[in-house]
Structure 1
């Protein structure tokens, strides 16, 4: 039988599969029909919208349809196919086993002799036609939001799936919920729900868009189904009480009396998906998206639990979801800036003119050379159609000859209190920069570094913050590509990972001190109200240019808290012999990074008491095994709260003491395990926490990497060239006791630490 041949689509058309009813084991049959997908959410005045195709029949407006969300999965050993009726002739389309199972399950709900309209990416998009694929990917957000319902296929039935879905019904009866958390016979049901939450679908990055945009959604697993609303409520209930379930598993012979059988439920993709979808959009009662609530930076920094088959999709899969990234096909507004911006003496001096046509992006065939390229633009926040026009750009002659110069001030450096942000001139100068970065161009042929660079230029330009370099978010480079620079933090640095040989997550590193970007106020304010400097052209080739000063250097480092075990040597470093002596204030505050549960508020007054109790439980060697105390010890609830906060701060980090350079006092700090003696602790503009930098050898002139024609044509990049400049590796973020709220600027003034530009590589 012949293989199905796709008919071409117009720009505003989609295909829908009309799936025919049939018994479960019967051959899959259907038709692929072409429809117009109107830009308006509903046809006006109830009229049918028609599109006249050249030389062909009218294309009707798309009828009601459902969209399928699923994982593609592995290919079949034996051929599986879908029969397609096309112009009275039968043809076949190869499909994968997981899609075959989904179609057979969905077909069970179709009345005999009827059909059902479905949108399925693997079928409705000609995957071998790159231009069509690029066009249709732009429409996916609209396709899922316009669907009458989204059907989620989790996969076939297993030994636990039916029990899990039946258990969800029990959980939703709130009168029975609390007893279920204490019922000795319930561990098997809780474990079944846990297994359901770990199905592969929950770890796909694209599903965040597919489920969050759905007006209604239903999850199918084998013969069973549950609404997304009920499932998400059950997940939230589970997460809210999973710590209380430890005694149930500890008393269960079936689960080897393992109190930590569930692992870190907070790290599960299902939990993250529920959290994100509840806070991503503001919708109408009908499910229409009225407002997007999160920035692109906030989305990327909080989606570490979701995987992408292509590393490019780490960014591309979430672009539409952000309020500051919008798919468009019209000319983007030009980004403008004043001809000359000079800062006060407390900051570097910048003399900037944009180069010719800088910031102007045009859309259409004359720009997009590769059919894989799609352009996303950034709308001007708060600027409507009737608002004032952008400020005029510099004259063209100046733009052609302009250059950018960044240098430390030549006069004496007068520090200011970043805590009070009293320097009004600095704030005015910083506020003159436009908020709008260059648009993000989707191109799967780019190297991973270029994709990461494009996102960082976008995010940093928007937020004027460098906190994103402390967040683990970036994919691993492909084998043929070079390693990413040290200032692009990779997903391998995420706090949680699957335990070897187990199907649950465990903590492997401490949480980022910067918290989640874009979610409320910062956890800390080490750099005060400063913003990234330089504000433009801060990435040159593979070098990130940042401005700041050295706070101190690392003098003494103690062993890391591997697996959350606090070494006894930490007590020696702070000169504390342990209970019954009072806990040194700077020690217990450092252990929790001077924050309470979640890292957002100041620690409660009972933390010193909890800390003393914990260190009374020391082993013979004086170490504190935090996991053992939480898992097997009879730990008071207050001590458990303290220990969980300690784990999120110290896991894998070292306790260090600084050298006390220039006559300053030695500082106590927590730093990454990779730090070495002599590494520098620095405050950099725009980063809310101190960072550790490692000086590298000066680059010789003949070692300077060659620049592309585009790079060398811009004089500002030549001025920023790292040639003969000290280069630094970014080692990581750190907590420095007493330096997390802007006190570093007072330290800078008192000890003469010079402001400088760091070239991070």
Structure 2
């Protein structure tokens, strides 16, 4: 590592950067971006001119780099008309050996490779009021940037040479939403291929310098580590380290991706810097010591300089810095990580070819994603984002089951086209990145994505996403990533229009009267004249709308005899429904016009989107401390983290969610009514009868003990249902609770100040000095914090969200591992009719949108054929190959299914004693039996089916209504619950024996 400077200019000089409105910049025009070519994977790079910390001005250039090569290595942008490029392509065509061809490609790329570093910084909320000067071909322009970014550039520039950086705020045209969507899709390449990620924490303080020196000189050397983690004289240094770990940069969502993808990283804080790997080691040691022994909190508690505050480092493991260090080891399985020393600068073409053939990847770190998108989004709640959509988009590049996918309506590259066509066969499903998309739709996309991906592995856990907090609060107005003065709707409309260089044309053909069929037809001939059609869409629809009343001819309308000298036309099939739709729309027009404008842009998030504000931990101010620290804000989700092959409970047993739209999962958005509905299947098993007060700060109210059937003087062990409910019948790491929890509960009540009306569990943890009681109370915190206790009509004891009320339903949803609480709301006749109308309108609109996509795709397909004559044949050949593979795969699966069916039948025959010859003898005695396809498909059903089982596949009218739920009511999702005696399949058994009221139904959740 290069030695750091020991002396720097005064902080006032270092902090001086020129503003955008500085008088010296008055004559300089503002910089305007040239659009990047949509047909290429191209980025901009910033070349930062060298200077010292004394100069307040910042000068740079913007250059373009291409990623359009096999190795995803950035190269200098070269014109398609370049003589060098033509010569290279001709030489490449003459090489037939694949290895030699790959070597030639790498040699070409390596010769034009551009090396750069990526800047990772915190945007903040201040306005861009400072300036950087951009040199474009000798002409200077100014660009407005935020102060923190200007300072980063000032500190990072070299004294005497250029430093090349990629910076999102400068290298991406933030006013161009389409470009931003495309660049987000490329983010993984940008950070993976950067030589280094520069982490800018901001300007330094004295404590920052103390923390960095503490890491470099003492912690990471592990000399006398036990002494420095238990001696009071090191308390200020540990405090400084925690302050450094709470820098705003560590709370950004994007940093998880940026650090996980980096080959190497370096932290900069003012003029001080330290390698990421040294910082990570220090954080891991900090967390390990505090979590295992709470020794460091004891040291801080003894030091009078910190006011004897207990538990100062209690939840240090939940800080963003701690989670980020953990993430660098959990996100990927890699041969090389930012913690390793490695160098790729001396690789030869032979090395690269051998590497690709060995590991079958172009990723220089040979990484394999380990975590699902659902896991990343729902467990990284401590990280914030300026743009709420980034809570999802920032995790796409590092998820194992998702990949960022920009708007497919733009010109797409081969990778995007492949993702579109083969979506169902990809391990990493494309997730569309679109900052112009309404936030409610982005949330719905994520929920549906999680449900479908989990359903493929564990259908019984697919709906657990409804119980995991993740969604940031919706923004007011449009995305902060979009230009404030643009019309998003207009941009979308223009984007979808095919680019025409000539006007539309229409055929000039003569109408003919068909006396047999009594209707007008058009006589179309090849020699008909085509004339330009310069009508706009408004004129086109206006003229067509007159055809019913006037004599303009439309071949789809049948001519009838005239009445009172006026021609009559027979309406086409289905016209009545169209007229009704238009009539209802006209009648309701004034009502819809009265809706507020912001409602037209988006709707409120539905109750089935779990908010991030319900997350277990948050960063906030604590009594006796002048800094914020991580503390508990809510209870832990009962469903736990999304882990493969593991679940905390099994309330629905093997009943998983059904994805077929006719009987299972459905989403319906009704923008004008202002709600988003999710339809799921399940049943009501109980109803809330009484509710006790909510737990405040994790304390146990006295009323809970009374509701649990435990009476004073509390000298006996508590009832089993009470103490098990307090810990949700689980212990540490969601294992079965140890039996000593009952005794720990009794001791906690007797020592926790029950005379004051509640058991102070926090005081027990900090002051009792009893590890068993502390363990029990921490588990109680994780379960009851902010929740209420209730009793049901059947006498079950449970806990749920603080807003649970008497009369709420306790329900089992198929695909959810815990019971949920739903409150029912009735819909009047007007609401039901409005829902029906809007559903029809949305279906009508979706048909047009689908047709629009088909037309755009067809236009681009035809354009591609004209540009590349051999392309169509190549596509057809590839499609035929895929179809053959799919056909063979289906045949193989059918053979396996038939083999399993034969095995099952043979097993049934052995168990029941029915022999094939007995069945044949019976058939011969009763005459030939014709077994249709429907009958054969029922062979797998048990022989003792109930008498009311119907064989007909077509549902009745009542069944069709049940598929959409009860139209007279809807439900609000209040959250998950623990109901003692309903957590491991008991509810299904109770439903089986319950005579009435527990039938399966479809719930409409809003």
TM-score by length of 1: 0.80
Would the aligned equivalents of 2:764 and 2:773 in 1 still touch at CA under 8 Å?
no
Partner of 2:641: 516
Classify 1:223/1:374 alpha carbon distance in 2 versus 1 (closer, same or farther; 3 Å): farther
SS, match of residue 499 in structure 1? strand
Tell whether 2:265 aligns with 1:217.
yes
Partner of 1:558: helix, strand, or coil?
Answer: strand
CA–CA distance in structure 2, aligned partners of residues 570 and 446 of structure 1: 46
Q: 1:219-234 alignment to 2 at 5 Å? A: 219-234=267-282
Structure 2 runs not aligned, ≥5 long: 1-27, 86-108, 337-341, 343-363, 456-461, 477-597, 670-675, 848-954
Separation in structure 2 between the aligned mates of residue 640 and residue 546 of structure 1, nearest angstrom: 40
Match of 1:246 in 2: 297
Q: Which residue does the alignment assign to 1:273?
A: 324
Tell me by how many angstroms 1:584 deviates: 2.1
Match of 1:455 in 2: 446
* Aligned twin of 1:567: 701
Call closer, same or farther: CA 1:722–1:622 in 2, change over 3 Å. closer
Name 2:410's counterpart in structure 1.
365
> Which of 787, 797, 803 is equivalent to 1:668?
797
1:500 Cα offset (Å): 4.7
Please state how far the C-alpha of 1:70 moved relative to its aligned partner: 0.4
CA contact (8 A) 1:3 1:93 kept: yes
RMSD (Å) for aligned C-alpha atoms: 3.1
Match of 1:92 in 2: 142
1:429-444 matches, within 5 Å, as: 439-444=430-435
Q: How far apart, in 2, do the equivalents of 1:559 and 1:544 lie?
A: 30
- In structure 1, the residue corresponding to 2:150 is in which secondary structure? helix
The whole-number CA distance in structure 2 between the counterparts of 1:681 and 1:23 is 67
Q: Which residue of 1 aligns with 2:974?
A: 731
1:304-703 equivalences in 2 (<5 Å): 304-327=381-404, 363-365=408-410, 439-464=430-455, 465-479=462-476, 480=598, 481-500=602-621, 502-518=627-643, 521-536=646-661, 537-541=665-669, 542-577=676-711, 579-599=714-734, 601-619=735-753, 620-621=755-756, 623-631=758-766, 633-660=767-794, 666-703=795-832
User: 1:444-502 CA deviation, whole Å, 9 max, x = no partner?
Assistant: 22222111111111111111210011011112223434322111111121122233575
**Quick one: structure 1 residues 86 and 512, their matched pair in 2 at CA, closer, same or farther if it must change by over 3 Å?**
same
Deviation of the 1:566 alpha carbon? 0.3
**Alpha-carbon distance in structure 2 between the residues aligned to 1:519 and 1:218:** 34
Residues 47 and 165 in structure 2, CA contact (< 8 A), matched pair in contact too = yes
Match of residue 839, structure 2, among 707, 715, 726? 707
Where does 1:34-53 land on structure 2 (aligned, <5 Å)?
34-41=64-71, 51-53=78-80
The answer on whether the counterparts of 1:378 and 1:436 sit within 8 Å (CA) in structure 2 is: no
Work out whether residues 73 and 193 of structure 2, in 8 Å CA contact, stay in contact via their aligned partners in 1.
no
Structure 1: which 5+ residue stretches go unaligned?
Answer: 330-361, 385-434, 661-665
CA 451–535 in structure 1, closer or farther in 2 if over 3 Å, else same: same
Shift of 1:307: 1.3
Q: Partners of 1:378 and 1:189 in 2: how far apart?
A: 56
Tell me: CA distance 1:655–1:39, structure 2 relative to 1, closer, same or farther (3 Å). Answer: farther
Report the structure, 1 or 2, having the larger helix content: 2
Distance 2:984 2:965 in 1: 31
Counterpart in 2 of 1:412? none
The answer as to whether partners of 1:298 and 1:519 remain within 8 angstroms in 2 is: no
> Do the aligned residues in 1 keep the contact of 2:373 with 2:400 (CA within 8 Å)?
yes
Other-structure match for 2:192:
145
Aligned to 1:300: 377
Q: CA deviation at 1:267?
A: 3.1
User: Cα 1:204–1:25, aligned 2, differ >3 Å: closer, same or farther?
Assistant: same
What secondary structure is seen at the aligned counterpart in 1 of 2:697?
Answer: helix
Q: Using a 3 Å threshold, how does the CA distance of structure 1 residues 303 and 718 change in structure 2: closer, same or farther?
A: farther
Following the alignment from structure 1 to structure 2, what is the Cα–Cα distance between the partners of residues 564 and 74?
34
Equivalence for 2:36: 9
Q: What TM-score comes out, normalization by structure 2 length?
A: 0.61
Structure 1 contact 467–688 (Cα < 8 Å) conserved:
yes
Q: Is the 8 A contact 2:133 2:140 kept in 1?
A: yes
Q: How far does residue 88 in structure 1 lie from its aligned partner after superposition? A: 3.2
Q: Choose from 97, 110, 114 the match for 2:161.
A: 114
Map 1:144-223 to 2 at 5 A.
144-169=191-216, 170-223=218-271
**SS at 2:43's partner residue?**
strand
User: 1:263 offset after TM fit, Å?
Assistant: 5.4
Once the 2 structures are TM-superposed, how far is the Cα of residue 87 of structure 1 from its aligned partner? 2.1
SS in 2 for 1:562: coil
With over 3 angstroms needed to count, the CA separation of the structure-2 counterparts of 1:120 and 1:50, relative to structure 1, is closer
Q: CA deviation at 1:625?
A: 0.5
SS in 2 for 1:505: strand
C-alpha separation between the residues in 1 aligned to 2:635 and 2:241? 27
Cα distance in 2, alignment partners of residues 756 and 613 from structure 1? 45
Which segment is superposed worse, 467-476 or 274-283?
274-283
Q: Kindly tell me: are residues 39 and 630 of structure 1, through their superposed partners in 2, closer, same or farther at Cα, counting changes over 3 Å?
A: farther
65-74 or 439-448, which deviates more:
439-448
Contact 2:965 2:1001 in 1 (8 A): no
- Cα distance in 2, alignment partners of residues 189 and 20 from structure 1: 37
Specify whether residues 13 and 482 from structure 1 end up closer, same or farther in structure 2 by C-alpha distance, changes over 3 A only. closer
Which of 1 and 2 has greater Rg? 2
Deviation at 1:380, TM superposition (A): 6.4
The secondary structure found in structure 2 opposite 1:529 is coil
Question: Which SS does the other structure have where 1:682 is aligned?
Answer: strand
* 1:155 to partner: Cα distance: 0.4
Give, in angstroms, the shift of residue 374 of structure 1: 12
Aligned length: 659
Q: Once the 2 structures are TM-superposed, how far is the Cα of residue 556 of structure 1 from its aligned partner?
A: 2.1
CA offsets, 1:328-368, max 9 Å, x none?
Answer: 58xxxxxxxxxxxxxxxxxxxxxxxxxxxxxxxx9453799
User: In the TM superposition, what is the alpha-carbon distance from 1:76 to its structure 2 partner?
Assistant: 6.8
Aligned counterparts of 1:514 and 1:375: Cα–Cα separation in 2: 36
Change (3 A) 1:658 1:535: same
Aligned to 1:746: 989
